Amino acid sequence: MYKIAALGDKDSIYGFASLGVNIFPADGAAEGTKILRGLAEADYAVIYITEQLAAEMSAELERYASRPLPAIIPIPGVRGNTGLGLDNVSKFVEKAVGSDILS
Amino acid sequence: MAIMNVNPTRMELTNLKRKLVTARRGHKLLKDKRDELMRIFLEKVRENKELRKEVEQGIAQANTAMSVARCVMSDKSLDVALMLPTQEMYLNVAEKNVMSVMIPAFDVKFRTANEHDIYSYGFSETSGELDIAVKALSDIMPKMIRLAEIEKSCRLMADEIEKTRRRVNALEHVMIPRYEETIKYISMKLDENERSTTTRLMKVKDMMLNEAHHYNQ
């Protein structure tokens, strides 16, 4: 049995708590990195992370990119959509095809 | 393209020919793998893009409602309301093998029997906006799980496609031409040796005839 986590600033992820997602408030890359490492070792299959935090710790996220689990998914936070998520999808296409043919 | 550093012998030639056959078969298989992966990847990545747009919209709506709730209610009472969730979500993770890429498949399980049992607070002390926010998030949650599954799959497949494409290119543009040229070089060298042996024999025959009968042909 795997669990689901949400990581980011408290205001963005608070609502997920009532759905049964475990929330881990983190401010700044240093704190986020520390929590993320702990989560990756524990039984978390999906970790939702706010785009703001994801942008700050992109190097750390790369470490988990090639592993089947956990899936780290950026979601927009309360401070609005930065477009990081869609950019990531475009990056996959660029990597696989050679150029972004879907945009 | 440089030829390989080998001795031009018949044995090397046989070996190289065998290697060339293997390389050609490997090239064909890898090309098929790349094409199939690409087809599945493009399907998935389109769905990924759609899903992501929907999820981002849904979360934006939930966040708006949440902001309103935060304005209406005090921080403390909001904390209390969300402090002890009644519901808990678990995932069963299966692995699916797509062209030797292991992609995850998630199956959601809830702790309580009713999956809509999401309100962890009494309704008397909280505002309706909080209900709306929680409901909006709950509605978008199945899509978020699907998004996680599909985005991870896309990521893994993109890596694999890149690797496969490199292998295909290396075989097609480096290995196979090199083998072909080396084979050509060895067979030409062997032919040349054969011709030189024939001429030498003819020359020796001439000399022997000359010695025995004292005549020149």
pLDDT, tens digit (0-9, with 9 covering 90-100), for B89-136: 788 888 888 888 888 888 887 776 666 666 777 777 777 777 888 888
Write out the residues of chain A at the interface with chain B, using a CB-CB cutoff of 8 A: 1-4, 11-12, 14-21, 45-46, 48, 65-66, 68-69, 71, 73, 75-78, 80-81, 85-86, 88-89, 92-93, 95-97, 102
Using the 8-state DSSP alphabet, how is residue A42 labeled? T
Q: Which of A11, A18, A80 sits opposite B87 (nearest CB)?
A: A18
Using the 8-state DSSP alphabet, how is residue B117 labeled? -
- Contact flag A89-B88 (C-beta cutoff 8 Å): no
* Residue ranges per structural domain of chain B: 10-205
- Contact flag B162-A78 (C-beta cutoff 8 Å): no
- Contact flag A1-B59 (C-beta cutoff 8 Å): no
Q: What are residue A4's DSSP bridge partners?
A: A46
Best A9, A13, A46 member to test B by mutation, with max B CBs in 10 Å, is: A46
Tens of pLDDT along chain B (217 residues) come to 678 888 889 999 999 999 999 999 999 999 999 999 999 999 998 998 899 889 888 888 888 888 888 888 777 777 777 777 777 778 888 888 888 888 888 888 777 666 666 677 777 777 777 788 888 888 888 888 888 889 889 889 999 999 999 999 999 999 999 999 999 999 999 999 999 999 999 999 989 988 888 765 5
Mutual angle of helices B176-213 and B10-72, in 10-degree steps: 170
Chain B residue numbers with beta carbons less than 8 Å from the beta carbon of A93 are 45, 158
The predicted model scores a pTM of 0.82
ipTM over 0.90: no
Structure tokens at B30: 């890898």
pLDDT, tens digit (0-9, with 9 covering 90-100), for A69-84: 788 888 888 777 777 8
pLDDT, tens digit (0-9, with 9 covering 90-100), for A56-67: 888 888 888 878
How far apart CA B20 and CA A97 sit, in angstroms, is 28
Is domain B10-205 in CATH 1.20.59.10, yes or no? no
Q: Enumerate domains of chain A plus CATH numbers.
A: 3-97 (3.40.50.10580)
Structure tokens at A23: 């929330």
